[in-house]
């Protein structure tokens, strides 16, 4: 069974992105993530994203654009991550579920530990906001 997940890459005016850390005891626990959660029955992706960002951070997404979709099999669980950039939002994000939270510059994303499925997100965000991969630049002469 596939778990459909709405994921938001929240960007501030300084082009930093918002990360939260998953609790230790849950799937992929202890790792950093982009806020979001499961799409519930009958919800659209946009509704699910807005609900999750409200529940986890107390913000309302205002300007959203699709980034990518990732299908990933963890062995114990198959996820479909539907990832959207959130360029504008109403409210001030705060960690409503007590989770650690950090605003991180695009070029520093490589220093954080994410679930395996997130590698393409981290790369795409770094290229979009910073113009190069967060996981190391490739030498042109290699
Ligand atoms: N939100 C989020 N989930 C991710 C990311 N990367 C990744 O592999 N996942 C996986 C972990 C989980 O298996 C799934 C998200 O499910 P979840 O259990 O956190 O969903 P939820 O927020 O609705 O939580 P809950 O109400 O069920 O407790 O997606 C990511 O960057 N952000
Ligand atoms: Mg969640």
Residue-level pLDDT at 134 = 65
Distance 39 CA to ligand 1 centre (A): 10
In a domain, 139, yes or no: no
Q: Which two tokens stand for residue 31?
A: 């790792």
Residue-level pLDDT at 142 = 46
Contacts with 93 (C-beta within 8 Å, 6 or more apart), sequence order:
10, 18, 57, 58, 59, 101
Cα–Cα distance measured from residue 16 to residue 76, given in angstroms and rounded to the nearest whole number: 32
Question: Does the structure show a pLDDT above 50 at 43?
Answer: yes
In a domain, 43, yes or no: yes
In a domain, 117, yes or no: yes
pLDDT digits (tens, 9 = 90+) for 3-23: 999 999 999 999 999 999 999
The bound ligand whose nearest atom lies closest to the alpha carbon of 68 is 1
In a domain, 20, yes or no: yes
**Pick from 89, 114, 110: which is nearest to 12 by CA?**
89
In a domain, 142, yes or no: no
In a domain, 41, yes or no: yes
Among 115, 123, 125, say which to mutate for ligand 1: greatest number of ligand atoms within 8 Å of CB: 115
The count of domains in the chain is: 1
Tokens 């679930």 sit on residue: 115
Range(s) of the domain holding residue 59: 2-130
State mean pLDDT over 26-45. 98
Q: What CATH number does residue 31 fall under?
A: 3.90.79.10
Inter-residue contact 13 to 63 (CB < 8 Å): no
pLDDT digits (tens, 9 = 90+) for 100-126: 999 999 999 999 999 999 999 999 999
Inter-residue contact 60 to 91 (CB < 8 Å): yes
Q: Ligand 1 pocket by C-beta < 6 Å: which residues?
A: 3, 5, 7, 26-28, 33-34, 36-38, 52, 77, 79, 81, 115, 117-118
State mean pLDDT over 87-96. 98
What is the reported pTM?
0.93
State mean pLDDT over 20-46. 98
């Amino acid at each position: 069974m596939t778990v459909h997940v709405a994921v938001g890459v929240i960007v501030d005016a300084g082009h930093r992105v918002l990360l939260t850390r998953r609790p230790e005891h849950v799937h992929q626990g202890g790792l950093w993530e982009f806020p979001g959660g499961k799409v519930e029955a009958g919800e659209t992706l946009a509704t699910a994203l807005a609900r999750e960002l409200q529940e986890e951070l107390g913000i309302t997404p205002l300007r959203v654009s699709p980034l990518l979709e990732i299908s990933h099999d963890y062995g114990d669980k198959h996820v479909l991550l539907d990832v959207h950039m959130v360029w504008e939002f109403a409210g001030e994000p705060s960690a409503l579920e007590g989770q650690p939270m950090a605003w991180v510059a695009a070029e520093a994303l490589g220093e954080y530990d994410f679930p395996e499925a997130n590698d393409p997100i981290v790369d795409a965000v770094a290229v979009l906001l910073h113009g190069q991969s967060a996981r190391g630049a490739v030498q042109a002469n290699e």
